Structure 1
């Protein structure tokens, strides 16, 4: 590998998934404001966030290839991000209860000459959740740092009745698409 690879994310899930692809990389957490603009679709928003994270890391490590990524959950035309508190998490999980929603993960790979972004959308179906299930799930601590207030790879997986698309994208990094992008840069 001629250039060093940098993962512009402090997410342990993204780190683990990128490791599964066999790449050597360093982690550089970036701090990008996550606020959706009024004109942005969910796909445009998540793509911009992944690009902003990649470009922020590229500024700090200009000789590297950087990978930025972000995930949002979309339900009933609303973007669901990380919960602010229990009441917010409960509201989101009640929205997802018994319904289909989309999880969109964007991946941007960039170096000084080029950048490319891909957005992967996966449909996820939830069983109907009781208030007790939601409260117990919140008490586990798992929903606190997850878009849509759940992690499919953890306890939240018990709520999922079906998915169509990339499981790994729901976790936080679509393996196939990430590997394809990285092959263009490394």
Structure 2
């Protein structure tokens, strides 16, 4: 069983990641830094998620001594295309229309850093969507504002309840943090 002995920083503004760490009974504080989230075009989806998580971790190298820093990045991949956070309402409609009636993958890269040492890993979950009507897509965007979510949706909210037919893999990974793998990594860190 993991027993927290060091302070933890969660370098994420995601309320979902904060909820998940709280549910894991971890004590942490949120510290944010601006990080360029660009990546080389040659990377595969899993590599992109880890690459960006490691870039975020690198921003803390000099000022988080004797503290575990958790960084993460979640991306949605559909037929080889990376679907990040939507730029606007039209972009969100476009993404959700692509995902309607199909399946896609959600990748989350995670980095744990402590005193200059970093351990990174990723998880992938296959998500299967039912067919969504244009009215459902419009309703979701209007009332649930998915503009801070990769792929324009959150599995833990209305769309997840009505559109996700099934998943193969970790539910919490789709929320933005594969808690099962995180727990194992913290236990061995």
| Pair 1:88 & 2:91 matched | yes
Q: TM-score, normalised by structure 2?
A: 0.93
Contact 2:9 2:28 in 1 (8 A): yes
Bigger proportion of residues as helix: 1
Taking the aligned partners of 1:75 and 1:57, their CA distance within structure 2 comes to: 32
Taking the aligned partners of 2:34 and 2:157, their CA distance within structure 1 comes to: 26
Aligned twin of 2:102: 99
Taking the aligned partners of 2:158 and 2:36, their CA distance within structure 1 comes to: 28
Taking the aligned partners of 2:130 and 2:37, their CA distance within structure 1 comes to: 29
Aligned twin of 1:132: 135
Deviation, structure 1 residue 18: 0.9
Taking the aligned partners of 1:182 and 1:75, their CA distance within structure 2 comes to: 31
| Pair 1:116 & 2:119 matched | yes
Aligned twin of 1:184: 188
Taking the aligned partners of 1:72 and 1:171, their CA distance within structure 2 comes to: 11
Taking the aligned partners of 2:83 and 2:59, their CA distance within structure 1 comes to: 24
Q: Which runs of 4+ in 1 moved over 4 A?
A: none
What does residue range 39-78 of structure 1 map to in structure 2 within 5 Å? Answer: 39-78=42-81
- For structure 1, the 5+ residue unaligned runs are none
Taking the aligned partners of 1:59 and 1:123, their CA distance within structure 2 comes to: 37
Deviation, structure 1 residue 141: 3.3
What does residue range 134-149 of structure 1 map to in structure 2 within 5 Å? Answer: 134-149=137-152
Aligned twin of 2:19: 16
Deviation, structure 1 residue 113: 4.3
RMSD over aligned Cα atoms: 1.3
Deviation, structure 1 residue 39: 1.2
Contact 1:93 1:149 in 2 (8 A): yes
Contact 1:58 1:65 in 2 (8 A): no
Q: TM-score, normalised by structure 1?
A: 0.94
| Pair 1:174 & 2:174 matched | no
Deviation, structure 1 residue 142: 3.2
**1:33 alignment partner, one of 29, 33, 36:** 36
